[in-house]
Amino acid sequence: MIRGPEPTVFSLMLLPTAERFSPMELMRLSTRRSAADKTPDVENHAGRERALIPCPKTAAGGARVDTKPGRGLLTMLKQQYGMPLATLQQVGALIVMWGTFECDLEKAVWRLSGEEPYGKVPTTDNMQISQRIARFRHLGDNLEGIEWRETVELLSDVAENLAAYRNAIVHGRLLPASVGGGMVLNATWYGELRKRPGMDAHIDEPLVGMMLDALHELIIVMAQVADGDSAPNTNSRILARRHNLRRAKSNTSEVRYLTALMNSETY
């Protein structure tokens, strides 16, 4: 049996007071226009019904309230958590592109180990990202070349720093701007014990920007390791980026351990 479309669900909990509507108001906005709305009807191709565009909600004092989908949560992130759209865009880019790096890292491990994954479950399938990075470090160090081995260590260190930062963002607790903002992972606020150490992800445009630059460098180099025409340890496109990787390691280490550095007397 073919099911019809799911009903639209409106979230009321996260909207500021000026943007809250009753269920009946939401229903009216989704089914017919306000009398004050002068937007013409948009007729669908089947000609059986008309899609009606609701008029923006008017708040006290005559000011119009932006009722676009998701606007309430975005407003909350900006006002309560100190995360404007520009910062959220950077965070989104980091999360989206991290998956691309993970895929190329897996392919690089296959290439360095000589594994042929066709028709079987690859050995990397059940590995966490930390295990894949460790596997890459071990396999890469088996190839000859001083410059190559330095590159492997730099790639692995930068990947570990970025993985810790990304995990804190994806799995951590967002803190309000009133206490400094950022994300906290594996906190022990209630006296509990954790298997993994805690991690603070400090978030502002310059810091996230440095992590994006480092991830960009990782993606460029790891793609060459995974799919380059020549052997990785002699590939000039890989070895020539050691200077960039050194800078990426320095920046990502500083961002990852920023809390400890800020608490240090020598920082």
Beta bridge partners of 184: 173, 200
**Ramachandran category for residue 187: left, alpha or beta (phi over 0 → left; psi -120 to 50 → alpha):** beta
Q: Which residues contact 160 (CB under 8 A, 6 or more apart)?
A: 130, 133
User: Residue 38 has what pLDDT?
Assistant: 44
Axis-axis angle for helices 129-140, 146-171 (nearest 10): 180
Q: What is the DSSP letter of 1?
A: -
Percentage of the chain with pLDDT > 70?
Answer: 74
Q: Residue ranges of the domains in the chain?
A: 1-67, 79-262
User: Residue 62 has what pLDDT?
Assistant: 59
Can you point out the beta strands (E) in the chain? Answer: 42-43, 50-51, 57-58, 64-65, 173-174, 183-185, 199-201
pLDDT band at 87 (very low <50, low <70, confident <90, very high): very high
| Run of H or E including 194 | none
- Phi, psi values for residue 67, rounded to 5°: -110, 25
Q: What is the pLDDT of residues 14-36, one digit of tens each?
A: 334 334 444 444 444 444 444 44
| Total-model pTM | 0.74
Q: What is the pLDDT of residues 37-81, one digit of tens each?
A: 444 443 444 443 334 344 445 555 655 666 788 889 999 999 999
Is residue 159 over pLDDT 80?
yes
| Run of H or E including 18 | none
User: Residue 179 has what pLDDT?
Assistant: 87
C-alpha distance from residue 258 to each of 39, 208, 251 (Å)? 52, 13, 10
